[in-house]
Structure 1
Amino acid sequence: MGDTNQQMAKDILAAVGGKENVISAAHCMTRLRLNLKDSSIPKKDELMAVQGVIAVVESGGQYQVVIGQNVAKVYPEFTKLAGIAAEKAIAENLDSQRPKEKWTPKRAGSAIMNYLSGSMTPLIPAMIGAAMFKTVQVVIGPDLLHLVSAKSDMYLLCGFVYSAFFYFLPIFLGFTAAKKLGVSQLLGAMLGALLLVPDFVAMDGQTFHVYGFLPATVHNYGQSILPIILTVWVMSYIEHFFKKIIPDVLSTIFVPFLTLLVIVPVELAALAPLGNIMGDFIGQGLIGFGDIGGFIAVALVAALWEFLVMTGMHQVLILFAIAGIAQNGYDNFVTVAGFAATWAAFGMAFGAFLRIRNKEQKATAFGAFVSGILGGVTEPALYGIGMRYKRPFIALAIGGGLGGLYAGLTGVANYLMGATNFLAVLGFVGGGTANIINGCIGSGIAFFATAVLTYLIGFEKESEALKV
């Protein structure tokens, strides 16, 4: 398997123009994300011909090679061949190597999405793990099966594990955001920790004077996202400035000290409160938009969700949804629509598996179904089936929309950011029996409607897929 991963990395590197054309490399759950000096060099035909490559996408200023869950094994082989350190691949002198471009609204939007996505993606495994403990707590506790009491050690332990990630989210996010921007990761984590110091949190609602004269209203920033995202972004400019003007012999001491000296008052007096206000606005805004748009809004997003996944734009909506759940305790819009769309993608793969006659392509469809329903990864279905045959996308949009429509009409809410596979329905548990039932029905509608429509209209009669 190691030789296979190495060969795949070698073939991908050759197709994107060799190591001379690679600025940096990163990966998410399914994609090898490349920042290239010249994005016109890569040969998509050669990339698609590489065994194991599902699709090639240009999005958010990156060249993305969709590999699937095996990407974590291909990535170190790629960085080794490209001559870039895996741990530094995201922040490898991007500004100095990338050709200078004029700032446009499109480029600014891509940069923002790239920053948000690059900051959040590394946290997904830990986020899912912590959320699963919360799910177990709800299932075994007095809210559902009554297997343990709310005071039992098992119940409390599940809550501790969940809080270990979500309460301290600003620390983890400070680290990954700093890594994405190529600045001190420990300073980023420290600025996140500053918002969670117990004595500071205890002053929630009070006014604190930074350096004795600059007033700052204290809030509880546990589970917050935007305060640290804004802070690390501003810190990156401050740290780069001090690195330029301070001699190397003094930089170890004075760069971090002066960076903190400047950024701390900016964080506490301006950026953290601003991020808190923005978080409240987004949280209430999502609920408000869901209420105003009602079931139509949920249905529309559910119909379009997987197309947003293909462009990477879903990462921003997920970020807002996390902020909404942190603020309100639940989300009745974005993630509900996303779950319906995800089950629709599972249905598209299953419907294709039932309809396709060609043995090789039938196996590919079944693999996409298993990858989705068990692994929670929809890219194999989207690119291996949707992009390949096109017409299944019609079924996907209709089925996802129908599932979202039902969920919107019945007021389904999601209480957890956790699994994206078949266990995703456990996110409905926190809302009680009716919420669980309606959430499962909505997911079932999305799955079966898409599967049936894919079977009926997903393929042209003369398609190679229907030939044995």
Structure 2
Amino acid sequence: MSKNEKFQKTAEDVLKAVGGKENVTLVTHCMTRLRFNLKDESIPDQDEIKKIPGVLGVMKAGGQLQIIIGQTVDQVFNCLCEIGGFENSSRINENLDKEEKKITFKSIGSSILDGLAGCLTPLIPLMMAASMFKLFAALLGPSMLKVISESNDLYKLFTFVGDAGFYFFPIVVGYTAAKKFGATPVIGMFLGAIMLHPTFVDMAAKGTYFTVYGIPAKAQNYSSTILPIIMSVFVMSYVEKFFKKYLPSTLKTILAPSLTILVMLPITLCILGPAGSFIGTYFCNALLGLSKASGFVGILVIAVIGALWEFLVMSGMHVVLISALILVFTSTGHEALVSPGAISASLAVSGMCLGAALRIKEKEQKSLSVGYLIAGFIGGVTEPGLYGIGMRYKRPFVGMMIGGFAGGLYAAIMGVSAYTMVPVASVLAVLGYAGGPFSNLIQGSISSVIAFVAATIATYFLGFKKDDPIVRKQ
């Protein structure tokens, strides 16, 4: 069977297992997972889905059924869209007569996480590209290798290209949020552009008094922010749907976009923009306070994040910390709480895979463990190791947690900060420590080595029972 046939078979079996295309309201994918929004969530049998060849694991998070495929998820997703007739990353019309779900604190929290994930996950390629240019400037510039000076055109080029990726977040997130909430993407981008217009930014810098239809508005610089535009586009999606529903068909195309923006101007500039900025600032200050906490508390928080980070990833709860991380990074230029723990945890997964590969004697599983190690350490995809080793044997998770805790602990003690956002889980994640003092990169690298080695050793000695058949000589 060829690779394409395998992807086709996996897609067919997955679609059948989730209840067929009639049960799917939305299907998207991230770097490793197929993400389904389903009409009837009781249909899929997770144990049966796990048995499908090509599936590494299954979980429910953020109101979605997430099926872990790994590095070939895009090929399986393309086959899935072809079989089911889905548009790539497009919302499928739901059955409007279906019973509404009961609103609970759990469902509200799940919806918030789902919304954040849907808005932020598509940003990963942009953040990766922008961060790499900032990294080039940091490595080659006067703060590290001193190959080029600040007046050098190449340094200026890399700097403003890297900054552009984050500065225009309101426009880019306006697009991703509109896609997520079912609004017109270009209108979402337009709303973000309004928040970044030079006139508005200049008024914010000068503290100029400003009103919208006579309503006082606090002009603010929303560059590099995410919450104000996400909140605004969420509300905008309902405003736009209202006009599209009640305007005559002959006027809908012309008036719906302009009337939507007309209504959203006071809502965004007077209410949601300042509110989102306040919430973002609150999160930033809270994280900065934790990262600067003196003594045992500050050190322990980072170490615990290192130990538990991958479980947060598996549950989808990491989106909250990533959102706060982005807010802190874009406002201060560096981050010292979440990043050190997350980077240590990522390298600890690879260490767990190596420890398992060294300990396991059964040839097929040993070979798979080596494959998981390569996928994580080189490819930056941790799900194969998490589900293929951690979830399968359970005890290796102890080694991973020890490694993440040890790496995070060292980073916390040495006061390590991340100066570049490198949103990958491979060894390249260490480059996130570049951009500040050279000693920061050295100490950050040491913390990553500690995480990897500690996880390897701990998994080797603690990850399996002595009488486990898989670790006996064949």
TM-score bucket (shorter structure): over 0.9
Give 2:136's aligned amino acid: V
- The 1-side partners of 2:249 and 2:308 are apart by 51
Take 1:94 and 1:164, find their aligned partners in 2: how far apart are those partners?
37
Partner deviation per Cα, 1:7-26 (whole Å, 9 max, x = no partner): 21111111222222222101
Q: Deviations over 1:207-252 (max 9, x none)?
A: 4434451221212111111110111111112112222221222211
Q: 8 Å contact 1:207–1:216 — kept in the other structure?
A: no
Give the structure 2 partner of residue 161 of structure 1. Answer: 161
Matched positions, count:
466
Partner of 2:216: 215
Task: Confirm or deny: 8 A CA contact 2:143 2:436 kept in the other structure.
Answer: no
Percentage identity across paired residues of the two chains: 46
1:405 partnered with 2:418: no
Select the residue among 348, 370, 375 that pairs with 2:374: 370
**Distance in 2, Cα, partners of 1:388 & 1:9:** 23
* Alpha-carbon distance in 2 for matches of 1:46, 1:102: 27
Specify the alignment match of 2:286 in structure 1. 285
Deviation, structure 1 residue 260: 0.6
- 1:78-112, CA deviations, whole angstroms, 9 ceiling, x for partnerless residues? 12212221141xx2235737641111000000000
Deviation at 1:465, TM superposition (A): 2.5
8 Å CA contact 2:353–2:389 kept in 1: the answer is yes
Q: In structure 2, what is the equivalent of residue 32 of structure 1?
A: 34
Once the two structures are overlaid, the 10-residue window that deviates more, 43-52 or 350-359, is: 43-52
Query: For the Cα contact (< 8 Å) 1:24–1:35, is it kept in 2?
Result: yes
Gaps of 5+ in 1: none
Q: Is the 8 A contact 1:342 1:378 kept in 2?
A: yes
Matches within 5 A, 1:386-425: 386-420=390-424, 421-425=426-430
Scaled by the length of structure 2, what TM-score is found? Answer: 0.95
Query: Residue 34 of structure 1: SS of its match in structure 2?
Result: strand
Please show how residues 90-169 of structure 1 align to structure 2 within 5 Å.
91-94=91-94, 96=96, 99-169=99-169
Task: Tell me the residue number matched to 1:172.
Answer: 172
Shift of 1:419: 4.0
Letter in 1 for 2:113: M
Match for residue 451 of structure 2? Answer: 446
Whether the 8 Å CA contact 1:283–1:328 is kept in 2: the answer is no
- Counterpart of 1:302 in structure 2 is 306
Q: Distance in 2 between matches of 1:98 and 1:455?
A: 51
Aligned to 2:13: 11
Determine whether 1:316 maps to 2:320: yes
Listed one character per residue, the Cα deviations across residues 310-343 of structure 1 (whole Å, up to 9, x for unaligned) are 0111112101100011112111101111111111
Amino acid across the alignment from 2:56: I
Deviation per CA, 1:277-302: give whole Å up to 9, x if none. 22221111101022333101101111
Which residue identity lines up with residue 418 of structure 1 in the other structure?
A: V
Equivalent residues in 2 for 1:176-215 (5 A)?
Answer: 176-205=176-205, 206-215=207-216
- The one-letter amino acid paired with 1:11 is D
Checking the alignment, whether the CA contact within 8 Å between 1:140 and 1:148 is kept in structure 2 is yes
CA distance change for structure 1 residues 437 and 98 in 2, over 3 Å: closer, same or farther? Answer: farther
Aligned counterparts of 1:57 and 1:309: Cα–Cα separation in 2: 11
Which residue identity does 1:238 align to in structure 2?
A: V
Q: CA 1:210 to 1:256, structure 2 compared with 1: closer, same or farther past 3 Å?
A: farther
Structure 1 residues 191-200 or 41-50, which shifts more? 41-50
For 1:382, give the aligned amino acid. Answer: L
- Confirm or deny: 8 A CA contact 2:24 2:92 kept in the other structure: no
Kindly indicate whether the alpha-carbon contact (under 8 Å) linking 2:166 and 2:224 is maintained by their aligned counterparts in 1: yes
**CA distance in 1 between partners of 2:80 and 2:352 (Å):** 32
1:39-59 alpha-carbon deviations (Å, 9 max, x no partner)? 221133332222211001111
**Distance in 1 separating the partners of 2:156 and 2:332:** 22
Q: Does 2:467 align with 1:462?
A: yes
Whole-Å separation in 2 of the counterparts to 1:80 and 1:249: 34
Query: C-alpha deviations, 1:135-159, integer Å up to 9, x for none?
Result: 1111111111111111222212212
Taking the aligned partners of 1:266 and 1:349, their CA distance within structure 2 comes to 50
Match of 2:80 in 1: 78
1:379 corresponds in structure 2 to 383
The amino acid that maps onto 1:117 is A
Q: Answer whether contact 1:21 1:37 (CA < 8 A) is retained.
A: yes
Structure 2 CA distance for aligned equivalents of residues 191 and 97 of structure 1: 32
- Taking structure 1 as the reference length, the TM-score comes to 0.96
Matched letter for residue 264 of structure 1: L
Answer yes or no: is the 8 Å Cα contact 1:294–1:409 preserved in 2.
no
Equivalent AA in structure 1 for residue 303 of structure 2: A
